[in-house]
Structure 1
Amino acid sequence: MPTALSELAPLSRYELPPESSVDLDYADLAIIDLSRATTPEGREDLAIQVRDAMIQHGFFYVVNHGYTPSQAQRIFDVADVPFAHVSDDEKKVYAGTMKATGSYQGYKLRQYWHIDAGVHDQLEHYNINRDTSKRQHPEALRPYLGDVTAFAEHNHFNVLHPILRLLARGLELPEDTLVDLHGFSAIGETYAPNESSYPRSLEEEEKTKNVWLKGHTDFGTITILYSQPVGGLQILTPNGVWKWVKYIPNALVINAGDAMEFLSGGYYRATIHRVIQPPEDQQNYTRLGVFYFSMTDDNVKLAPLVESPVLQRIGIVRRFDDKDAPTMETWRKGRTSAYGQSNLTSTGGGVESEVINGVVVKHYT
């Protein structure tokens, strides 16, 4: 059973920045009350809502997910530690080896990813495997590894698994079809990462047209983001318009990634999203993000679940022949090692592409 958040180790409070007062064009995303998933009737209704949200946008909010506002605050407090309480020299000691190993564990230091026109990113990540014993961590973070483990367990069992059951119902499959592919103790690279985005110079903003992270899809199955007030996240709507994702206190922002699109035969699409410069009244704030990036077990082949009655009725959108489907391990390593490091080919209309494991991966400027 998931453990409770530790309140034993004292921790300085991270003050969330104020919300923006700028009138922004927000995406109209569904709000899913996950507390209703505890009854058969609630799951039946939610499965329809989640299915429709995934088909329309690939993004939705979750409320009543089991964390109180104080527990969520504690997680932001812990998430700030690897950035505010670790020196630059120590960060280098725990830097990840993404290009060499295809693993995001450790720090993704600033200016590792090329954004555009010679400008590199100002995003700093600290990525922790759901098994925190996989590697050593900065000294300042070690007292809070119990919090990180509890956070990973809560998201895996109390958020991810209920969502996967709803998505399976949407495919008219047994409820645990997708859950069985996402073992907590199995070999894999599901992360509980933190992200700190720092303001950039005017020159860098002009060169990149205010884009901090190009439009892309996540490579796992489901991404869980804890909503925070500093704007920047946008999704590309089906009619080709970028819209902002609104902050909702103590809500989660959920989206599907490549692996879910592959497994669902294109029924649940991996949504294109990007990060841009925050609105003008938030541009002096650092943007702290807390995520849970989920993936299937490493040995799972990402072939369509052809036994789905839904897919049998409507057909399957394939990105590769089923026999050539990559495993989760192959796909995540290919995407991880290439992202922000490879030479992209312009295909026009603000779209750039690369080929990973025989699959065309697009990026949007």
Structure 2
Amino acid sequence: MPSLFYPPIPHYRPAPMTAEALEYAELPIIDLSKATTLEGRLELAVHVRQAMVDHGFFYAINHGYSKEQMDRVLDIADVPFTQVSNEEKEKYMASSKITGSWQGYKPRQYWHIANGVHDQIENYNMNRDVYKRQHPEALRPLLSELQEFTQHTHMNVVHKILRILALGLEVPEETFVDMHTWSNDRVHGETFLRFMKYYPRSEEDEEKSGQVWMKGHTDFGTVTVLYSQPVAALQILTQDRSWKWLKHIENALIINAGDSMEFLSGGLYRATIHRVIQPPKDQRQYSRLGIFYFSLADDDVKLAPLTESPILQRVGIKRRFEDSKAPTSAEWRKARTAAYGQSDLKESETEKGVEQEVILDGVVVKHYK
């Protein structure tokens, strides 16, 4: 647990919840406190498997950090944006197009959205081993707290979910855990923590971009953990092809599968399209600060379906690659990272409002306007 003696930093005050009546997605709520026993994990596996088939998203509660602890993490999350000068930020910019890694800052106006409009989103990313590289001076006294937080998220949240997902495929419950190691005794990949701040945009940019802040997309990793925050902006594309808002649940997690998990699960656990749009009117004056944990399989893991799964043998496997040509986790991550928001997108000839980019071996990645 984090120390009771914290270095003093400014307190971040989140926005109040919206009072507007929004059309929310009805997502299941999973109680992670039940995942401490095999019996509990087997029970949860049935519900999580159905959630992944139906939605690709679910909420998780009782994740092990109290509201007071998460308030402290939120205070820390704002430090890279408010306590670091622009000159110092330049020293820690991520060279994503070259390295295929997000570690460091992504500046505002890096991603193209639409009609000449670029994003107003700043983020700071760090490897799950926060000591792997240098950080701005304001973050250095906070690294021990951040390391405790990433280790907790990895071991007590992600690993629990990975065991549940494995049981849902009826394979040994350590199958996915063994692909997401924590220790440094092998290549452990690019699982990373992201602090992300969305700033309000001009009305002109909102009109030109159709109020879209991030186009509809899938994540490229296995499991994404989003610590729920009050500014409404995240939407998912449901199976009936309508966009539904995700509701804020205090101190809950929002969990979704990414491309890599869809590949490994033979399409059963689907990577759901999601986007970020302009918040409702009563929240538009606020910035939106988010905490994300993007889980990626270890770099050398081949993203081929688990054909030994009895479930997949019964329902069939949906492939995006031939098994022999399936990329490693590192290959897929580098290709998606380098291309995102920077590549030339082509209008789909068959789907209205969809743009496409080709990543590896002719695999098409879709972006929804």
Normalized against structure 1, the TM-score is what?
Answer: 0.98
* Residue in structure 1 matched with residue 61 of structure 2 by the alignment: 63
* Residue in structure 2 matched with residue 218 of structure 1 by the alignment: 219
Structure 2, unaligned runs of 5 or more: none
The 2-side partners of 1:156 and 1:188 are apart by 13
Identity of aligned residues (%): 62
* Equivalence map 1:88-127=2 (5 Å): 88-127=86-125
Q: CA deviation at 1:11?
A: 2.3
Please give the per-residue CA displacement for 1:41-81, whole angstroms capped at 9, x wherever unaligned: 22121111111101000000000010101111111011000
* Residue in structure 2 matched with residue 320 of structure 1 by the alignment: 321
* Residue in structure 2 matched with residue 136 of structure 1 by the alignment: 134
Partner-residue secondary structure (3-state), 2:193: coil
1:330 aligns with 2:331: yes
Contact 1:119 1:207 in 2 (8 A): yes
* Residue in structure 1 matched with residue 270 of structure 2 by the alignment: 269
The 2-side partners of 1:134 and 1:119 are apart by 35
Of 72, 79, 91, the match for 1:74: 72
* Residue in structure 2 matched with residue 32 of structure 1 by the alignment: 30
Please give the per-residue CA displacement for 1:114-166, whole angstroms capped at 9, x wherever unaligned: 00111100000000011122221111111101111111101100000010011
Number of aligned positions between the proteins: 363
Contact 1:82 1:140 in 2 (8 A): yes
1:250 aligns with 2:251: yes
**In the alignment, residue 360 of structure 1 is paired with which amino acid?**
V
**In the alignment, residue 125 of structure 1 is paired with which amino acid?**
N
Q: CA deviation at 1:84?
A: 1.0
The 1-side partners of 2:40 and 2:274 are apart by 30
Q: CA deviation at 1:5?
A: 5.1
Q: CA deviation at 1:4?
A: 3.6
Superposed structure 1 runs of 4+ greater than 2 Å apart: 3-8
Structure 1, unaligned runs of 5 or more: none
Contact 2:233 2:245 in 1 (8 A): yes
- Aligned-pair RMSD on alpha carbons? 1.0
The 2-side partners of 1:259 and 1:203 are apart by 37
The 2-side partners of 1:242 and 1:94 are apart by 36
The 1-side partners of 2:5 and 2:14 are apart by 20
Q: CA deviation at 1:170?
A: 0.5
The 1-side partners of 2:138 and 2:113 are apart by 31
* Residue in structure 2 matched with residue 51 of structure 1 by the alignment: 49
Contact 1:121 1:212 in 2 (8 A): yes
* Equivalence map 1:188-207=2 (5 Å): 188-207=189-208
Contact 1:148 1:192 in 2 (8 A): no
Partner-residue secondary structure (3-state), 2:358: strand
Partner-residue secondary structure (3-state), 1:357: coil
* Residue in structure 2 matched with residue 291 of structure 1 by the alignment: 292
* Residue in structure 1 matched with residue 359 of structure 2 by the alignment: 356
